Amino acid sequence: MSKLLITKYHNRLHEIFNSGGTRNETSITFAFANLLRSYAEKKGLLLVEQFEFVGRSGRRVRPDGVLKYFGGIDVGYWEAKDTKDKLDVEINKKLNEAGYPNKNIIFEDTNTAVLIQEGAEVMRVSMREWNLLDDLLDKFINYEPSEVKEFNKALEQFKENVPTIVEGLRELMEREAETNQTFREMRDLFLEIARSEINPEITPEDIREMIIQHILTEDIFTNVFDDAEFHRSNNIARELENVIETFMTRQIRKNYLRQIENFYKTIRDAASGITDNHEKQKFLKTVYENFYKVYNPKGADKLGVVYTPNEIVRFMIDSTDWLLEKHFGTSLSDKGVDILDPATGTGTFIAELIDRTNIHTLEYKYEHELHANEVAILPYYIANLNIEYTYQQRKGTYKEFKNICFVDTLDNTDALHYSGKQQMLGGISSENAKRIKDQNARRISVIIGNPPYNANQANFNDFNKNRDYKEIDKRIKDSYVKNSTAQKTKVYDMYARFYRWSMDRIDKNGIIAFITNRSFIDSRTFDGFRKVVEDEFDYVYIVDLRSDVRANPKIAGTTHNVFGIQTGVAIMFLVKVEKKFD
């Protein structure tokens, strides 16, 4: 593979030179950028071209490329020169005069490549010798910055210590439940609210796990987003803090967390250099995914904890914006277009929408027309922080995001457009219940996101199935199943349920945009689903990303899949048109 990539690079240079292209730096850098990007992707690294930052001398520098690890940590740099330059002279200028970083940087002029690491030249090769160039590029991408080493080391310690801490907290709360009446009363009050607003099947054990996750992650959120007040100002976090204060002082909390203080410190150090809100989101996702897989690996599977690449998010938002203009003469930034992410995860879609909304309508959209739901406590917290931080970056002032609900969307059937449904909230009057009711009163024009994909994971065959949803499952039976000729088991996949919910929730003029399992395209199981789509929507746009390893063994492994899973993936846009927006 390496030889093939380098051969393609040489062939591309040959094409440029033979077609009359010049040999100056600008015309040939993209060829090496493509080669470097291919190597970087093998390590899960991102190549960012023309990235400007402050160099070692305090002056701003802009190398041709920067390799980035999670959260924006720089792994290496690349500087291209043309063949008219004297390479060693240019290296001296960039390192000693301009102050370019010297921990891991490649200088090349299409003839010679020089690798500098820790301030010293470690390799100099002819770029025409593919095996030597391959060695240099491998050494370059495998360099591990001290920040990454520290994070990985701390993560290993975290993996070892967390199970002991979690078990200690569980035992503490079991004792408190037996002896502390105030704790029992506060816990049961929160349990009543949670059953009414979030999921009717929540148990006291679920509340206990929420409390543990809340305790373990407070320091992470405080340091990544510099928001020490979040756990006391967010409506759900505040309710959990009220429960915690009945049995745990700050000193007791510190004693329990002392074993993983190094993990928190490493996160603080890594987060301190991240100023870009997109990089903060990536960093926090990485921390969250690592945390949750250590804390509860089965829970991570059950919730389908895999988040959407930013490139996919941007494509879906851009495409939805284009479809709004095409079919309705409006846009995502316009007033009157309410947007809902029903399974928001860490809030990537809403944060990206905030980043792309017209600055003149942003405040109104933020306060009234951007909506999000999340059922798991940690991503709910992270989504809050991501969304509020992104807004603050755009507007320069902080404003609480009051349109995110802690709720299982599939249980929230009050606003769906069909007859015979049961009311969910009744007389509950908490702040979260008010948010849900306010959202249900809105006319939703766009539903966009990445619903949980769990039922088609490998663990589906391990009987790690999710709970039933009485109302939505009945709607599926009356629509998808009724119109199907196939056996019906997997038509109750989580993503099929989210499609059914969204089809009933979307306005008479609206768009649903989901990235999901691709089986709805040609699976016999989904013939009824396809018939319902044909009957209920006017236009259907599908981007089939294929990548189904089971159907195509030639792409064995998960490299070719945007989520790194074996199941094929597709993006579908469903458009319902009654008339132009008022």
Distance CA 330, CA 321 (A): 8
> What global pTM score does this model have?
0.74
What are the φ/ψ torsions at residue 233 (nearest 5 degrees)? -110, -30
Distance CA 260, CA 410 (A): 36
Q: In this structure, what DSSP letter does residue 456 have?
A: G
pLDDT at position 372: 97
Contact 260, 162 (CB under 8 A): yes
> What is the block-wise mean pLDDT of the chain (582 residues), using blocks of 10 residues?
83 78 64 88 82 79 84 82 82 88 90 92 92 93 83 80 88 93 93 83 87 83 65 78 89 83 76 66 71 67 59 92 96 97 92 94 97 89 86 88 93 75 53 91 96 50 57 91 76 88 96 89 87 95 75 51 64 88 52
Q: What dihedral do alpha carbons 105, 107, 108, 112 form, nearest 10°?
A: -100
Provide the b/e sequence for 384-422 (b: ≥16 CB within 10 Å): bbbbbbbbbbbeeeeeebebbbbbbbbbbbebbeeeebe
DSSP notation for 468-499: P-HHHHHHHIIIIITT--S--GGGG-HHHHHH
pLDDT at position 321: 97
Region label for 426, one of left (φ > 0), alpha (ψ between -120 and 50) or beta (otherwise):
left
Per-residue CA distances from 543 to 432, 493, 521, 577 (Å): 36, 20, 10, 21
pLDDT at position 290: 72
Residue 104's DSSP bridge partners are 117
Yes or no: domain 303-576 corresponds to CATH 3.40.50.150: yes
Say if strands 74-80 and 65-68 run parallel, antiparallel, or are unpaired: antiparallel
Contact 371, 354 (CB under 8 A): no
* CATH 3.40.50.150 domain residues, the chain: 303-576
Distance CA 137, CA 144 (A): 14
pLDDT at position 524: 85
Provide the b/e sequence for 517-548 (b: ≥16 CB within 10 Å): bbbbeeeebbbbbbbbbeeebeeeeeeebebb
pLDDT at position 291: 75
* CATH 3.90.1570 domain residues, the chain: 2-144
Architecture of the domain delimited by 2-144? Alpha-Beta Complex (3.90)
Provide the b/e sequence for 149-162 (b: ≥16 CB within 10 Å): eebeebbeebeebb
pLDDT at position 430: 78
